[in-house]
Every structure is written in structure tokens, then in C-alpha cells.
Amino acid sequence: MKIAVMGAGGVGGYFGAKLAAAGEDVHFIARGAHLQAIQSNGLQVYSANGDVLVKPARATSDPATVGPVELVMIAVKLWSTEEAVRDAKALIGPGTAVVSFQNGVVAVDAIAKACGKEHTLGGVANIAAVIEKPGVIRHTGTMAQLSVGELDKKPSARAQAFVDKGAPEAAEAVRLADVFCLSARRRVKALFRELWSNDDVARYELGVAVLEGHHRWMETNVMGVEEGRSRPSAAEVPVGA
């Protein structure tokens, strides 16, 4: 699968490197000293899930040199979304899917508006990872999970293809999810980001653990219709869900 990663930071760098190590055709769109280090020394990921060095790594600051891809992963900071989506247009062909793995709740709408709903997937990344220094990603803990889904909540070959590429070698877990759950996850995750700085790793990891419990409840109950169960009543929703 030909994949472009817009933003090779903690999220894009980690998952992009894992996908590249698994044999996918991954192109990193980066800039500055981080880009120069990746081009010179490759992209290094340190993780309890297994270290990865992608060398040589396909990295550039100009998406136009990459051409159309099958999947665009938007992984820049939320305030850079507009610029990233504008640059990503050079990567979009008739069958390209674009998915945001950013924090915040507005990115999906921005992508759908700029690229068209037919190209847009919903997505959430759960991981604690940062750029330790140019060309190096440090992953804290072992949680590393991507969730993707179509905006119309229907199964699709393109979403399933990404899930198939991401498990088990590439990402520790890439899974399909109802976009209703993805939206809820984005909102709760955004709240954690506001309350707890990622610089305080212990508190952030605790927050992520609580969030994961919320996710599991959402999947068991809200998405339980897939297993023949009815959706829960408001009285059954636990405090904080």
C-alpha cells in the first residue's frame, strides 16, 4: 500500500515507521531539522514494542514529488491542519483515502470540506510518543493503537485494507470502529490533553488508561448492536462515559 504520512512526529513517525518496516510503501512529509535527519540517517523509533530503524526512509518536504497515494495519514498538530490538507491535495487520486490521526474534534470536518467526504475516513490514534531529537521517535509505554472508520459507518474495502496492513506486524492494533465512537474518543482525548500535559508522562499514562476503559465500554455497549445487542439506555451509561 502506498501511504503518505503528513507529519512525522510521535504519531506519524511511529506508525509510519512500523508500516514501512512491514514492507509498505511509506512516504514521510516533514520539514526542518527532523526532515534532514531522516533523509541522512533514517527514521529511528525506540519502543518497548520493538525498536525500528527505517533506512533509507522516503522523506520529503514536497508532497508533489510523491504523487497520488492510496492513503494519506494526517498527523500534524491540529493548528497545522489547514496547511497540511492543502499540501495533501497533491497526494490525492480518484481512490485515495485521507484520515486524520490528530488530537481535537475539528480535523475530520476540515478534511471532508477540503478533500471531499468521499475521500475522508474517521480516525483516532492512542499512543504516547514524541520526537526525542531530529530523526528519532521515543514511544512511552506499550499502547499503540489506531482506529479507523467510514463517515457513513458502513464497512468498506479501503478501511479494511488499512486494518489488514496494520496488523499484526505494522501497528500493534489497527481496527475498524464506528464513527460515533471515534467522535466520542476524540472529545474525551481532547479533554485529557487539556487537563494533563504530555510532559507529565505518569499522569498522562494514567489518563490514557482511564480513556481505554471508556473505549472498551463504548465498544461493548454502543457498538454492541453488531453482536445482536441493543444500545444501552441512558441509565446504563456509567459515570464519565
Domain boundaries, the chain: 2-178
Nearest to 172 by CA among 189, 147, 192: 147
User: In whole numbers, what is the pLDDT of the chain averaged over residues?
Assistant: 77
- Place 109 in a pLDDT band, splitting at 50, 70 and 90: confident
- Residue with cell string 454502543: 222
With vertex at residue 59, the alpha carbon angle to CA 72 and CA 97, rounded to the nearest 5 degrees, is 5
Reply yes or no on whether the pLDDT at 238 is more than 60: no
Higher-pLDDT residue of 60, 179: 60
User: 2-178: what fold?
Assistant: Rossmann fold (3.40.50)
Nearest to 146 by CA among 163, 161, 132: 163
Question: 205 with 140: CB under 8 angstroms?
Answer: yes
Among 143-147, 214-218, 235-239, the range scoring the smallest mean pLDDT is: 235-239
Q: Record the cell numbers describing residue 96, joined without a space.
A: 485515495
Question: 191 pairs with which residues across the strands?
Answer: none
Q: Which pLDDT value is given to residue 233?
A: 38
The whole-angstrom separation of Cα 175 and Cα 179 is 12
Q: Which pLDDT value is given to residue 223?
A: 43
Instruction: Pick from 64-68, 83-87, 170-174, 225-229 the range whose average pLDDT is largest.
Output: 64-68
pLDDT tens digits along 132-159: 999 999 999 888 888 888 887 777 888 8
Q: Which pLDDT value is given to residue 45?
A: 97
> pLDDT exceeding 70 applies to what percent of the chain?
67
The residues, any chain, with a CB within 8 Å of residue 66's CB and separated by 6 or more, are 4, 27, 29, 58, 60, 90, 91
Reply yes or no on whether the pLDDT at 224 is more than 90: no
